[in-house]
Structure 1
C-alpha cells in the first residue's frame, strides 16, 4: 500500500512535495494509517487531535493515544478540548455539525499560526460511497453526488483511492495499534446505519463496487466541469453585479432552456434549498422574498435581487453638529455654506440653514415617515414615494434620511424636502453633498 500511496501522491498530489503538512488524527484506524504512512514517506508532518468530550474517559484515552503516537514518531502534536454540546446548543446545530465546525475552525488556526501548508484528512473510498448514498437519499443534485473532493483549497485527502479493507490489511501487516470509537458501532446516525447495514451486503452483491463508484464520481465531476463552464456564459448573460449584490434578469433566464436547473446552479452556492418557492418567486409580486442562512432573494419587477442578509444596525441614529464639515459614516456627506444656491439633485442639495435645528440626525426610514417632496405641494408618505420611484426592497433598506428634529430635510440620494428650500429671504445657504447614490 505504501508504494501505491507514494505513486498516487506523485501523480495526482505532487504539490505536497516539500510542504509542511498537518494531519488530522483521531486515533482511529484511518488517521493512524495516514499519519504513519506520511511519516514513512518522509513528509514533514504535524498531528492535530480534537477531543470533543462526547465519550468521557474514552475521549481522553483517544487524546492520550495520539500524544503517545506523536512522541513515538517524533512529530509536533496539537490537541484541543471542545465544549461540543454547549456549542451545539448555542448555535442550534446537531452534534455532528457542531463538531465539524469546531474542528475545521481550529485546524485553520493551526495552519495559519504554525505555517502549515495543507491539512490532510484520512477520508477513504468507503467514506466516499457513504457520502454519496447520504446525499442521494436527501435529493442532492450533481454537486452532492460527485463525492468527497481530493483537494478542497487547503484540505487534501490522499486516501480516497483506498478502501477501508486495504487500510486495515496494511495496518495489521505493520503491527499498528489504533483506537476504536465505540460510537461508530451505533446505528443512530444515518452514516453508521449505512456503514453497518447497507454497504456490506451491497459490496457482496456488486463486485468491485468501490472502484466503480469512484469511476462514476469522476464521470460526474467531469460533467459538473462542463456545467460550470456553461454557467460562466449564463452568468454573463443573465446576472449583473450591482452595489447591492446581484441582479438576475428574469426575462432572459425564462428564454433559456432548463431555466429551473440554471437557477438551481446559480443559487446553490448561496445556500438556497427551497427550490419550489424560488421557482414560484419568478412569477410572484414584487417585494416577495426567500431567505437562505446568509442571503436573501427578492422579486423586484423584472429581476431577482440577490443580496447578503443585512445585519441589524447597532447604531440607528447619527448626530451631526453645526460645526461638522464632513462625515464618512454611515454615508459620506460634505457640509458648507455658499453665497448662492445651485440646482438640487439626487447627490446635492441647497437649503436654508436658518430653518435647521441642530444637531441634525441621520437615520434609516421607518413606517409612517412622511416628507414634503421638493417642488410638490403637500406631504407624501415615504413608503408611497419609494413605491412611485420603484425602489427595490434592498434600495429602501439602504436609504438614509437627514433630519432636523422630527422633520426630514433630505431623503439622501433621492430628494430634498420643500420646507427647507432656499427662498428670497434666505440669509444663510447650506450646501450638502454626497458621493454615494442609494438608488
Structure 2
C-alpha cells in the first residue's frame, strides 16, 4: 500500500519529499493509517486533533489517544476544544457542517502559525464514492461529480487511491491500534445511510464500485477543466466589476450552448441556485427590472445586462465626518478628504471626486443612504431635483439605487455620492479653501 500511496502523491504532485505536513487525526482507523504511512515514507509531519465536545468521555479519550500517538512518532501535537453545538446554533448550520467549518478553519490557522506546507486528511476512495452518491441524491452540477479533489489549495489527500479494504489489510499487517467512533455506525446521518445501506446494494451490481467511481471522478474532473476553460473565456467577455456591483453583458451569451448551465456556472460565485437560474433564463426576454435573490446577492435584469450586488451593501446606517478629518469608512467604502487652498487647487471632474467650497459646509457632515423625498440642486442648475428622479434619469439599476449615498451639510445635500454635486456647494471664484473628497472602494 505504501507504494500505491507514494505513486499517487507523485502523480498528482501533492507535495515534495521535504514538505512539512500537518496531519488531521481523529484517532480513527483511517487517520491512524495516515500517520503510519507518513512515518514510513519519512515525511516531516505533526498531528492536529479537534475535540468537538459532542461525545463526552469518548471525545476526551480520543484526544488523549492522539496525544499518545504523537508521542509514539515523536512529532508535534496540536489540539483544540470546540463548542460545536453552540456554533451550529449561532450560524444556523447542521452539526456536521459546523464541525467541518471549525475543523478546517483551525487547521489552516495552525498551518500558517506553525509553518507547515500542507494539511493532510485521511480520505480514501470509499469516501469519493459516498460523496458522489450523496451529491447525486441531492442534485449537483459537474463539480459535484468529481468527488473529493486530491489537492485543494493547502489541503492534500494522499490516500484517495486506496480502499477501505486496503486500510484494514494495512492495520492488520502493521498491528496498529485505533479508536472506534460509534457514531460511524448509526444511519441517522446521511453519509452513513449511504455507506451502510446503499453502497452494499450497488456492490451487488458492481463489486468494483470504488474503483469504478474513482475512474469516473477522474474523467469528470478532466471534463470539468474543459468546461472551466470555456466558462472562463465567457467570464472575461461578459463580466465587469465596478462600484460594488458586477455587470454581466447578455450579448456574449446569446449563442451559448446550454445557456442555463452556462449562466449557473457564471453565477456560481454569487450562490444562485440552478432553479433560480432557470427562472432567470425564462425572464431574459421580458421587461427590465425583474429581481432575483441568492442567500448573499441580488440580481436585477437591466436591459442588455444583469446587475449583481451583495445583499448587505444597503445597510450602511450613517456616519459623521468632523472638520479636519482626513479619512472615513462606511460599509465597504473608503473616503479620503483633503483641504487645499483654492488658488493651488486643480479641479478634478471624476465622478468619484467631490470638490466643495469648505466655507459653505457646516460640520459635522453626515454620510447616509438616500431616502425617499431627498432633493438637491444639481450642479449647473438653480431648481430642485428629487434624488429618485436623478437615479431614474441616470438609469441606475434597482439594486444599485439602495446603495446610493448622500453627503449632508446641516440638512442640505452637498453631494449625491458618485453621481452629482449640489450647485450650492460648488467651487467658485469666491472660494478660498476647497474640501476634496475622494471615494475609494475598499
TM-score by length of 1: 0.89
Match of 1:360 among 359, 362, 365: 365
* Change in CA separation of 1:374 and 1:100 when aligned onto 2, cut-off 3 Å: same
Contact 2:9 2:158 in 1 (8 A): yes
What is aligned with 1:369?
374
* 2:406 alignment partner, one of 388, 395, 401: 401
**What is residue 130 of structure 1 aligned with on the other side?**
130
CA-CA distance at 1:308 after TM superposition:
3.8
* Deviation of 1:346 (Å): 5.9
2:316–2:368 Cα contact (<8 Å) kept: no
Bigger mean CA deviation after superposition, 278-287 or 104-113? 278-287
What count of residue pairs does the alignment treat as equivalent?
A: 434
Residue in structure 1 matched with residue 336 of structure 2 by the alignment: 332
The match for 1:249 is 249
Pairwise CA distance, 1:212 = 1.1
2:415 to 406, 410, 414: 410
Residue 123 of structure 2 contacts residue 157 of structure 2 at CA under 8 Å; is this kept in 1? Answer: yes
The 3 A distance-change label for structure 1 pair 75 and 431 is closer
Per the alignment, do residues 72 and 248 of structure 1 end up closer, same or farther by CA in structure 2, a change over 3 Å counting? same
Deviation string 1:51-81 (CA, Å, 9 cap, x unpaired) is 1111111111111211222222222211211
Report how far residue 390 of structure 1 moved. Answer: 1.2
Listed as ranges, the matches of 1:318-329 within 5 Å are: 318-321=320-323, 324=324, 327=327, 329=329
Match of 1:145 in 2: 145
CA 1:407–1:82: 2 relative to 1, 3 Å: same
Distance verdict in 2 for CA 1:429–1:34, change over 3 Å: same
Distance 1:72 1:413, change over 3 A: closer
Aligned to 2:64: 64
Extract unaligned runs of 5+ from structure 2.
none
Match of 2:302 in 1: 300
User: Could you give the per-residue CA deviations for residues 1-33 of structure 1, whole angstroms, max 9, x where no partner exists?
Assistant: 223223333333363311111111111111111
Deviations 1:323-377 (A, max 9, x none): x385565423444453699989565677676654343333332232112223445
The 2-side partners of 1:179 and 1:93 are apart by: 27
What is the DSSP-based 3-state SS (H/G/I as helix, E as strand, rest coil) of the residue aligned with 1:27? coil
The structure 2 residue matched to 1:382, chosen from 387, 390, 397, is 387
| 3-state SS in 1 of match to 2:15 | helix
- Equivalent positions of 1:245-284 (< 5 A) are 245-273=245-273, 274-280=276-282, 282-283=284-285
Cα deviations by residue, 1:199-231 (Å, 9 ceiling, x for unpaired) = 012112213221111111111111111111112
Return closer, same or farther for 1:10/1:431 CA change in 2, 3 Å cut-off. closer
Would you say the 8 A contact 1:119–1:155 is kept in 2?
Answer: yes
SS in 1 for 2:335: coil
Name the counterpart of 1:172. Answer: 172
